[in-house]
């Protein structure tokens, strides 16, 4: 059988096996995600498997780069990927997506034994500061906003609602007055 026929058969099998399983997600006919662990479980993680054109004769691409995994350290991710790659080597030449997902489910505790959740807010701020070189200018803007006088703060509070947002329509044109002026010209 050709690689495409193998992939079609495995795709049908995956769809029937995981039908109704909320942890499984088909991103495309050759790319799948599976959440190992329950929602809210701090040791849950997401595996993405993408098939190459010659899969299953060649290994699939296994990734843990999903946003869901942002609290997992890169060392733990690398460890999980290395263990999954070992399973790939054993199963090379056969349909293995289901096998890899089940292997990860069965070994979840072992995979995550060294996992210590990273504070996602801290990791996000580190990622943002690493990506944007102009962080110093944005910090200056924040400092200026914090140094408002009491009168300025009072004016700002009077303009906004209790959530700090401007009320709906604060900059709208007086529609009734506008329509009454334009409407009288049309009526004549």
CA distance 92 to 54: 11
pLDDT in tens, 89-98: 988 888 888 8
As given in the structure block, the two tokens for residue 130 are 């690493």
- Is the torsion defined by CA of 33, 62, 88, 45 positive or negative? negative
Q: pLDDT at position 166, please? A: 66
Higher pLDDT, 43 or 169: 43
Residue 98, CA atoms < 13 Å, CB-side half-sphere: 15
CA distance 44 to 110: 12
pLDDT grade, residue 169 (50/70/90)? low
Tell me if the bond preceding 56 is cis, omega within 30° of 0.
yes
Q: pLDDT at position 172, please? A: 63
Whole-model pTM over 0.75: no
* pLDDT mean over 63-83: 86
């Amino acid at each position: 059988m050709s690689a495409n026929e193998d992939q079609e058969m495995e795709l049908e099998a995956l769809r029937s096996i995981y039908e109704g399983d909320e942890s499984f997600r088909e991103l495309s006919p050759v790319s799948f995600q599976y959440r190992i662990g329950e929602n809210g479980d701090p040791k849950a993680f997401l595996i993405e498997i993408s098939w190459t054109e010659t899969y299953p004769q060649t290994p699939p691409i296994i990734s843990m780069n999903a946003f869901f995994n942002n609290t997992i350290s890169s060392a733990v991710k690398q460890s999980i990927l290395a263990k999954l790659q070992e399973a790939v080597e054993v199963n090379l030449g056969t349909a293995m997506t289901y096998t890899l997902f089940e292997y990860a489910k069965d070994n979840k505790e072992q995979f995550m034994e060294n996992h210590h959740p990273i504070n996602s807010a801290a990791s996000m701020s580190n990622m943002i500061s690493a990506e944007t070189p102009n962080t110093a200018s944005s910090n200056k803007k924040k400092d200026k906003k914090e140094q408002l006088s009491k009168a300025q703060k009072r004016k700002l509070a009077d303009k906004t609602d209790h959530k700090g947002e401007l009320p709906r329509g604060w900059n709208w044109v007086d529609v009734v007055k506008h329509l009454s002026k334009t409407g009288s010209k049309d009526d004549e």
